[in-house]
Amino acid sequence: MSQSDLDLRSLDLTDPATFIENDVHEFWRGVRAERPVYWHEPTDRNPGFWVVSRYADIQSLFHNAALTSVRGNVLDVVLRGDDSAGGSMLAVTDGPRHRRLRNVLFSAFTPRVLGEVVEKVQQRTTELVSTVVGLDTFDFAAEVAEQIPMNTICDLLSIPLGDRKNLLQWNKMALSSGHADGSELDALSARNEIVLYFMELAQERRDHPGSDVISMLATAEVEDRPLTLEELAVNCYSLILGGDETSRISAICAVLALIENPDQWRALQTGEASFESAAEEIIRWSTPGIHLARTAVEDLELHGETIRKGDIVTLWNISANNDEAVFDEPRRFNVSRSPNKHLSFGHGPHYCLGAFLGRAELRALLSALVDHVGRMELRGTPRPIYSNFLTGYESLPVHFERR
């Protein structure tokens, strides 16, 4: 892609359709090579913002105190103004308060708590895969992938079984849609439903605490005071967001990638590749969360460009995870890839708390597939997610032949 071919005005990165109708990997190749930092012009609906595409720059900026996440860490939110959860939700908090809040939330991810949750993940995944093997055609997204991550986080938070279906539906509406008709009002309504649900649940656990994670958070203190019900709710919501969407999409992309790359499926079946290395490659390959947003709190220079205080800066993980300077043949799916230091879980202070669980879910899925499935076949066209933050598929019609 030459300079003349690279028309940065041709792709509107705020429009979900951009990521469905175009070869975005070809676009990012050109951007990394010729304009690694560029100004995305304003649109009729949104202000302009900076776009950063190279791995080294993005990794460095994850640590840079000149950028803050408090105004929002997702493009749709930060373009509309300040995030209402800024300073309350871990993902949109910085500085000393971020460290104290992270320490409290990290207590939910102790080996004792996670050991019990991971054991349930393995059991549930094996049961789900064994149930669909031999069916003529089924939707892997609905029958398997949707059932694992949401139930895992709900196990962690001790969410009643009867409430989980609604949480999954709200969460899917909050960040994406299966079609262009999904409105911002639908997404906002879904987010509000989740927050209200957790506020009610947090009050119940505060009044009658048990040994579960929400009870622990409801009785903990940050900066010498208990968290408010809203703070509890938005951080439980954050765990749901991080734990469901990315893991669900990674699982769907894993099956599709293994179907499209039968040599890599054989490498797993024969033990030539480990589940650990395959999980890392799936997470890199799929990169479910394609960007993170920040706001400059002071001026900084990058590749000769001056980013001014107050400017929005977007860090495109989907580009970083396919940067030729870091990954050999990045668009080749290689379950034995090593090293594989992708940025799908972020880097630095905001590194994903649920990374261990996300990896455990993928390893459990790969193990169940190898144990129970001989051949996988695509039986239709996967339906893509309609989003400018998430990439992947919401439907995957397949057939699994019994091993």
Please say whether the beta carbons of 265 and 401 come within 8 A.
no
Bond preceding residue 339 cis, omega within 30 of 0 = yes
Least confident span in 68-77, 173-182, 236-245: 173-182
pLDDT of residue 3: 39
- How many of the other CB atoms lie within 10 Å of CB of 63? 11
pLDDT greater than 70 at residue 338: yes
pLDDT greater than 60 at residue 48: yes
CB-count burial class (<10 Å; 0-12, 13-18, 19+) for 6: middle
β-bridge partners, 38: 51
Helix 149-157 with 111-132: angle, nearest 10 deg: 150
The more confidently predicted of residues 143 and 83 is 143
pLDDT tens profile 258-302: 999 999 999 999 999 999 999 999 999 999 999 999 999 999 999
- 147-181 burial, b at 16+ Cβ within 10 Å, e below that, comes to bbbbbbbbbbbebeeeebeebbebbbbbbbbbeee
Please say whether the beta carbons of 73 and 348 come within 8 A.
no
Q: What percent of the chain has pLDDT over 90?
A: 76
Cα–Cα–Cα angle for 372, 253, 152, rounded to 5 degrees: 70
Q: Which residue has the tokens 């999409």?
A: 249
pLDDT greater than 60 at residue 178: no
Which H helix or E strand runs over 250?
helix 229-260
- How many of the other CB atoms lie within 10 Å of CB of 65? 10
pLDDT greater than 60 at residue 42: yes
- Determine the Cα–Cα distance for residues 55 and 325; give it in Å rounded to an integer: 8
pLDDT of residue 6: 65
Give the start-to-end residue ranges of the domains of the chain.
Answer: 18-402
Distances (CA, A) of 106 to 72, 85, 138, 350, 353: 21, 19, 37, 12, 7
| Nearest by Cα to 91 from 237, 261, 256, 254 | 237
pLDDT of residue 4: 41
| Nearest by Cα to 57 from 35, 27, 24, 75 | 35
Distances (CA, A) of 125 to 131, 175, 179, 211, 236: 10, 25, 29, 25, 24
What amino acid occupies position 357? L
pLDDT tens profile 181-239: 556 778 889 889 999 999 999 999 999 998 888 998 898 888 889 999 999 999 998 88
| Nearest by Cα to 378 from 253, 257, 259 | 259
β-bridge partners, 225: 222
Q: Which two tokens stand for residue 288?
A: 């479910």
With bands split at pLDDT 50, 70 and 90, how would you rate the model's confidence at 111? confident
- Quote the DSSP letter at residue 396: -
The tally of CA atoms less than 13 A away on the side-chain side of residue 88 is 18
Give the pTM. 0.92
Fold of 18-402: Cytochrome p450 (1.10.630)
